[in-house]
Structure 1
C-alpha cells in the first residue's frame, strides 16, 4: 500500500496538466534517471522566518509559488565563522589599457556553440543523470579551452577541479593562480550550471537560466587565456550545481571557503540573454541583498567598458548564488539581463530555449562577457 505521502504526491501530479507537449507521469516510481526522493526532509530558510523542515515535494511547490529560499540542510553553520580579513575597498577602474584589448577578442561564436551543446541535455537538474552528464561535459569543455587558448606558462597556473556534492552533479571551479606573494585575495566570477522545470522531471533545456550565464563567463575565461593574462590576485570561475534546489552548491563552496579564503569580491551572472521586445537593452544591477560598494564598482565598469547602460532592479531574498557569499560575509554582486520585471518568462519550462524568440540575444550576452573580463582584470591586476 502506498504511503499517505505518496498518495498526496500522486494527487498533485495527477492534477497537473500536460506541460509543453509531454504527458506528466502519474506514478512516483516512473521517474527513471533521477535520484530525487520527494518525501526526503530538508531544512529550508526563508526571509525573516526561522528555518523549517519540509519535504522535497514541498520545496518544489514553494518554488512554483515564487518563494525563494536557502536549503540549509547541510550548511547550517554558513555565516558563523569570522571573516579572514577586513572587507576590501573598490577604487575606480584604472586598468583600461589591459582591459580594452581583451574585450576586442570576445565573440558570440563560442558561446553559441557551447550553449547549443549545453541545452541538448534533456535537463540539467542536479539530481538527474543528464544533469551529471552535462556537468562532465562542462568540465571537459573548460579543460579543452584551457589547452587550446592558454600558454604553457599560464596553464601551469591553472587548476580545474570538481567540488564534490552528495547529489552527483558537482560544482566546477577553474582557478588562475595569482603571482603575488603578499596578497592572498581571490576574485570569484560565478554562474549556475543546473536547470529545472517547474515540475523537475520534465525537460529543462535552461538556455537562459542559467545556460546563458554559464557560457558567458566561459567566454570571458577563454578571452583572458587568449590574452595570456597573468593576474596578481588569484581569479576563480565557478559553475555551481543545484542553485535551483535552494543555492545548495554555492552554499557548500562558500562554507568551505569561509574563514579560510580571502575572497575580495564575488560577481554572479544568472540569465544574460534576454532583451524583451520593445524595451531598451541594458544590464540589470540587483540592488537588494548585495554589497552596495561592489555594486557601485560594477556600475563604473559598465559605464567605462560596455556599450549599453545599467539599470537598478531587485530580485528578492536568496534569488541566486551571490546570496550564499553574502551570507558568508563576503562582498557579492549580481547582474542580470534586464530589470527583473522584463526578464525571460520562459524559464523553468521546456520553452527556455535558444530558438524560442528573437528576444534571445547572443550579442546581449557578449556585453556581460565584457563585464566579467573587466571585473577580473580590474580587481585581479591590483594587490592589497
Structure 2
C-alpha cells in the first residue's frame, strides 16, 4: 500500500507540475488546448480565480490542503461578498421552543448513528464516480426512506427524492413541507475519497460519514414531532445528502443552481461535515467544543447557530475558519442563500486522517456526534417554527 501510494503521489505531482496558468479575471478563460484527449475540469480556487486541471491534479490539490469548487458543469463563479446575504432575514434572537426540543432530544440514539455509520463505511469507497459510490447513495436512500415511513410523514406531504447527476452518484433530498414555502436546509455529504487514488479504499467515517448519520439521526428525532410530520410547522424543512463534495462541491452546486433557477425561497442552510473527531482537541489540552465556522458564511445566520449551541448543547462552541469552498455550505452562498457551517472542533485540531484508508469509526466519539445531533435538531425545530 505504501509503495502504491508513493507511486501515485509521484505521478500526481508530475501532472501537477504541468498545471496550466491560473486566471484571476472575472471572466472565465477558455480552455487553450482543445485537442487534448485528457478530461479537464474547470475549478475555482477563490472567488473568480479559475484554472483548468486534470482529475489527478484535483487530488494533488487535496493532498496539499487546497480547497476548490469544480465549476465545469455550471461555469458559474462565486460572487462572494462580505455583505450579509441575510440582510432582509431576521432570525430569532434566542431559542423559543425549549420544552419541545428538549423532549425530542431524549429520542436521539447513539446506537442508531453507529449502526448507520457501520453500514455506510462498509462500502469500499463512496467516490462519486465509482459503482460502490452509487450503491452507497442508494443504500442511504433506503435507510432514510425507512425512517420517514415509520414516522407516517409520507401520509401527509413529505417526499424523498434522488437528485440525479451526470457522474452517476445521486444526491438525496428529504422534504417536509410546512405552511409556507420558506425553506430551511440541513446538509451533509455522502461521498468519500482516497486522496492518493480515488478508487482505493476510502471508508470516510468522519468525512463525512459522521455528518451524514448525524443529520439522519436529527431528522429521525425531528419526526417525533406531530407538527413536523403533519405539515403544520411554519416553514418547510429539507435534509440534503450531497454527492461529489470531494470532487469540488459538485452535487450541492447542482442543487442550489437548480433552486436559484426555480426561485426557491431558502431562508437558511447549515452544513454538517465531520462531527466525530476530538482526539487532537483533547491532546492539546483544549475543552471539547463545537467548531463554528466564521469565514465565507452568513454572519446573521451564524449568530443564530451560536445561540442554538448555547441552549441545546452540553459543550461550548469555538469560532474558527476553514477557508474558501471548504464544504457544501459554500454552494448555497454561491447562489445567494444564507449559509452556516459547523464542524467537530477548532479547524486546527480537526481530523487529519480524512481522505485515507485510516478514516475509521474507531477514532470517533459518538458522544461528540450526539452534541452535533442536538444542535442540528434544535436548529431544525427552531427554524421550522420561526416566522420570516
TM-score normalized with structure 2 length:
0.85
What is aligned with 2:215?
217
Unaligned runs of 5+ in 2: 13-36, 80-84
Q: Does 1:314 align with 2:321?
A: yes
Question: What do residues 294-331 of structure 1 show as CA deviations (whole Å, max 9, x unaligned)?
Answer: 11111101111110000001100000000011111111
CA positional deviation for 1:67: 1.0
Matches within 5 A, 1:1-384: 17-19=3-5, 39-48=38-47, 50-77=49-76, 87-92=88-93, 93-148=95-150, 150-151=151-152, 155-178=155-178, 180=179, 183-199=180-196, 200-230=198-228, 231-259=233-261, 260-276=263-279, 277-278=282-283, 279-355=286-362, 357=363, 360-384=364-388
Total equivalences in the alignment: 349
Query: Structure 1: which 4+ aligned runs deviate by more than 3 Å?
Result: 23-28, 77-80, 84-87
Q: Secondary structure at the match of 2:318?
A: strand
8 Å CA contact retained: 1:85, 1:262: no
Question: What do residues 37-88 of structure 1 show as CA deviations (whole Å, max 9, x unaligned)?
Answer: x9311111111553221111222212221111110011123668xxx99741
Q: Over aligned residues, Cα RMSD in angstroms? A: 2.5
8 Å CA contact retained: 1:78, 1:251: no
Q: Cα distance 1:19–1:103, how it changes in 2: closer, same or farther (>3 A)?
A: same
CA positional deviation for 1:95: 1.6
Distance 1:323 1:18 in 2: 34
CA positional deviation for 1:19: 4.5
Q: Cα distance 1:382–1:280, how it changes in 2: closer, same or farther (>3 A)?
A: same
Q: Secondary structure at the match of 2:146?
A: helix
8 Å CA contact retained: 2:48, 2:78: no
8 Å CA contact retained: 2:86, 2:301: no
Q: Cα distance 1:280–1:26, how it changes in 2: closer, same or farther (>3 A)?
A: closer
Distance 1:344 1:79 in 2: 27
CA positional deviation for 1:24: 6.5
Q: Cα distance 1:224–1:48, how it changes in 2: closer, same or farther (>3 A)?
A: closer
Q: Secondary structure at the match of 2:325?
A: coil
